[in-house]
Structure 1
Amino acid sequence: MRKVSHILEDKGARVITVPQEAPVLEVIRLMAEHHIGSVLVMRGPEIIGIATERDYARKVILQGRSSADTPVSVIMSSPVVCVSPGDTVPACMAIMTERKLRHLPVVDDGQLIGMVSIGDLVRSVIEDQQMEIHQLQQYITS
């Protein structure tokens, strides 16, 4: 069964983070520039929140706030649900489904080491299924 560590090996461990004082406009620009749907909000090495496109839509646009004047700490979601590199793909999918999340930071011994998205998890499941189908086809034809 694939684990979070396998996904990070394939995709890399790069995570975009911002300080809690960063203006929402800067955060949205970072998301657009990096083609991502969330950034982690940090206080030094500590994860204090996550800001997502959904947070932006619900807490800035719908509430009439200014993106340039609002710090990301005002709109971030907190506390952040994290997983470890040893967690399995199905376990992460269950967490995401139950809590209606799309992104999970990966923390090992208190250190941020990556982030997995629902897309990463679905891709992993599809790859595993394709491998299993191939192996079954090989078994049948041999």
Structure 2
Amino acid sequence: MTSRFTELAVDCHDPERLAAFWCQVLDFKVIDRSEGKVEIGSWVPTIEDVRARQMPPTLLFIRVPEARTVKNRLHFDISPIDNSTDDEVTRLLGLGAARTDVGQGPHCGWVVMADPEGNEFCVLRTLAPQGRQVVES
């Protein structure tokens, strides 16, 4: 017997807003919506696909009444695929992210940011081929 990692749930105040932010960051689409919940992903899961092999998990944003009170114990790490890390940080700032300090120090090799509800995430090194980084206009 085994299980599959099918989704990651994120508690939040505004599921629509946070889902829209992460759709823009990750180029995901909304795949399901119900009262107080929005699920996004890069694919639409089917039982057959999930049973056959491990697939990328979806993100499920769920409305909760309480506020976040401490540093996240779990966070997203993202890697730009078609521009530099600095250009990606600039793009994310334009989408509503903010730089944040969780004690990482100035020379850690990644950039710590927070989404519009304050959830920390890290922007890692770029995966763009050298010389093929696209600058967004």
* TM-score of the pair, normalised by structure 1: 0.24
**Structure with a larger share of its residues in strand:** 2
* TM-score of the pair, normalised by structure 2: 0.25
- Rg (Cα) greater in structure: 1
